[in-house]
Amino acid sequence: MKLSKLSLALLAAGLGGVAVADDADTRDFGLFVQNTLRATARATLGLPQPLTESAPATEGAYRTAEQTARDQVLIPDDLTAAYLTRQAADSTDMLAFYPAAAPTHLISCVEGGREVLSGTTLNPSVQRINLATGAVETILRGMSGCDGIRTTPWGTVLATEEEDDGGAYEILNPLATTNYAVQDRASGQIVDAAGVTDTDEIAKRPALPTMAWEGLEVLPSGVVIGGDELRPGTADDDADGGAMFKFVPTVPHAGGAIASLATSPLVAGSVYAMQVSCRDDRQQFGQGCEIGNAGWIPVGAATARSDADVGGATGYYRPEDLHLDPVFHDEANPDAVRFCWTNTGNEGAGNYAEVMCGVDSAPLTASASQRTVVVNRFVEGDTDFNSFDNLAFQPRTGALYVIEDHDNGDVFACLRDGADRDIKTDGCVKMLSVKDSSAEPTGFIFDATGTRAYVSIQHSNDDNMPLVDGYQTDDVLMITGFKLPKR
C-alpha cells in the first residue's frame, strides 16, 4: 500500500507502524480519518478488520434448528460465534452475570408481556442460563416487559419492567429460586411454585420510581440511576421525553452481601429527577438545556414520570440502556462516577440517536440547588449507525460498544476520548450485524476478561422452531476472539 504524506505524518505521530488506509483524495479529511480508524482497529480497539457493510436483509422465517451460530451474525473472520443456548425465552433482553465475582450464570430479563400460557402458568420473565452447559431455568414469571436487570453489590438481582407502570423486583437467591410468580403486579404479591405467598425470596421495590425501566446502574451505596424509556409526545403533543432518575437510599449500604431482603438498601429511600441547567450560577432549564451541569429535583416514587414533567426535569428521546464507565476515576474525587446512556431517537425523522454521559461528583447527594452532575454528548448517530439501544463497556479498556435497536441491527465499537480537543469518542467501527431481518441484537455484555461477549438475538420469527415451556425462544450467542489493545 502506498501511503500519502498525510498517512505517514499520522504514523509518525504515534500509530506505531500500523498500515493506514489511504484515500484517493485526502482533501476529504473526515473520510480519511474514518478509513484510518478501520485500518488501525486492531491496534486501537483490539478488533480484527471491522465490517464494511451490514448483513443483507432476509425474508420470512430465517431461523432454523440446523443453523450454526455464525449463521445468525455477520462478524469479522477473526471472531468466533457459538451458541450458549437456543432455548432462552422469546424476547430475552438484558443480561447480568451472577454471582458478580466468579459468575456461573447469566441472569436474563424476558421482555414479553404478561400472559397466561396454560392453566395458571404465566409467561417467563427472569431466567438463569448456565454458562457451562447453557441450561435455562425460569426464576420468576408474570412480569410485564422485563428489560433492565443488574446484579447488586450486596448479592441480589434487581429486575425491572419496561411499562408505563413498570415496577422493580429484587431477588435474593437467583440460583436457588425457581418458578416464582408475580401474582399481582399492582400490589407486588409474589407466590412460590406451589402458589404460596412468599416475599422472603423476591420482593417488589415500590420505593424505586414507577416508570418504563430499561437502563440502570446500582452503586455500592445503594444509589440507583436509571432512565424512563419514553419518547416525546407520548402522553400529549409536545410532552417531554423520558427523564433520568436517581434513587437515594434512606440507609446507604455499608458493604458485604445481605442475608435478608429486609436489610436491602432498596427498601426505603427518596427519588429525584435530573434537571440540566444551561447556567453555572442557577437552574436555567427547559428547551436547549439538555447538556450542561445538572441538579436533582424531588419526585414521588409512584408518580415519578408525571412529577418529573411538571417539575421541569430534562426529557430525552427514549433513554434506554445505561452503564457506569468501569475505568473512570477522578483522582481528586474518588466518589465521582461516570454513567452513560443511549437516547434512541427516531431515524425516520433524522434523529439518529446519541449516547449521553454524565459525571456525578456526589452520588449520595440529590439537590436542585447543588449541580453535582455534568452531562455531555459522547456519541452521535448517523444514517448507518442509529437507533441506539444497549451499551456495553469493555472491561480494562473502557471501549464502548453500542447496539442498534432495529431489525438487522448492528453493533459498533467506539473508542474512548483521547487527548484531542473534543470530548467525544475518537471514532466507532462496525463489528457485528444480525443476519435475521426479523431479529435484533440486545443484551450485549462482556465477561471480566474483556475478550468474550454474550448477545441475545431477540424476537426472531420462530415458525421453524419448537416451543420450550409453551413459549417461543431466542438464541443467546457467545462471541470470542476479542483482543485487548496493547495501548
Q: With the C-alpha atoms ordered 56, 61, 63, 66, is the resulting torsion angle positive or negative?
A: negative
487 within domain boundaries: no
- Shortest CA distance to 313 belongs to which of 394, 227, 234? 227
Pair type for strands 337-343 and 400-404: unpaired
Residue 268 has pLDDT above 90, yes or no: yes
Please, which residues have CB within 8 angstroms of residue 381's CB and are 6 or more apart in sequence? Answer: 345, 347, 352, 353, 354, 387, 388
Whether residues 328 and 432 share a domain: the answer is: yes
Whether residues 15 and 91 share a domain: the answer is: no
d(CA 138, CA 321) in angstroms, rounded, equals 23
Whether residues 88 and 7 share a domain: the answer is: no
For residue 243, the 8-state DSSP code is P
How many C-beta neighbours within 10 Å does residue 419 have? 5
- Shortest CA distance to 214 belongs to which of 50, 389, 52? 389
Q: What is the mean pLDDT of residues 414-426?
A: 94
For residue 280, the 8-state DSSP code is S
In which band, very low, low, confident or very high, does the pLDDT at 266 lie, cut at 50, 70 and 90?
very high
For residue 325, the 8-state DSSP code is -
How many C-beta neighbours within 10 Å does residue 136 have? 24
Q: What is the pTM of this model?
A: 0.94
Whether residues 164 and 17 share a domain: the answer is: no
Q: What is the mean pLDDT of residues 153-168?
A: 98
14 within domain boundaries: yes
Residue 442 has pLDDT above 90, yes or no: yes
Whether residues 11 and 155 share a domain: the answer is: no
How many C-beta neighbours within 10 Å does residue 367 have? 13
CA angle 300, 304, 308 (to 5 degrees): 105
d(CA 365, CA 295) in angstroms, rounded, equals 9
465 within domain boundaries: yes
Whether residues 437 and 315 share a domain: the answer is: yes
168 within domain boundaries: yes
The number of domains in the chain is: 2
Per residue in 275-286, pLDDT tens?
Answer: 999 888 888 888
Whether residues 303 and 404 share a domain: the answer is: yes
- Amino acid 18: pLDDT: 47
In which band, very low, low, confident or very high, does the pLDDT at 49 lie, cut at 50, 70 and 90?
confident
Which tops the pLDDT comparison, 13 or 219? 219
Pair type for strands 213-218 and 224-228: antiparallel
CA angle 168, 234, 149 (to 5 degrees): 20
Per residue in 98-152, pLDDT tens?
Answer: 999 999 999 999 999 999 999 999 999 999 999 999 999 999 999 999 999 999 9
Whether residues 70 and 215 share a domain: the answer is: yes
SS3 278: coil
In which band, very low, low, confident or very high, does the pLDDT at 12 lie, cut at 50, 70 and 90?
very low
Q: Residue 19 belongs to what domain range? A: 1-39
- Amino acid 24: pLDDT: 55
In which band, very low, low, confident or very high, does the pLDDT at 485 lie, cut at 50, 70 and 90?
confident
Which tops the pLDDT comparison, 266 or 23? 266
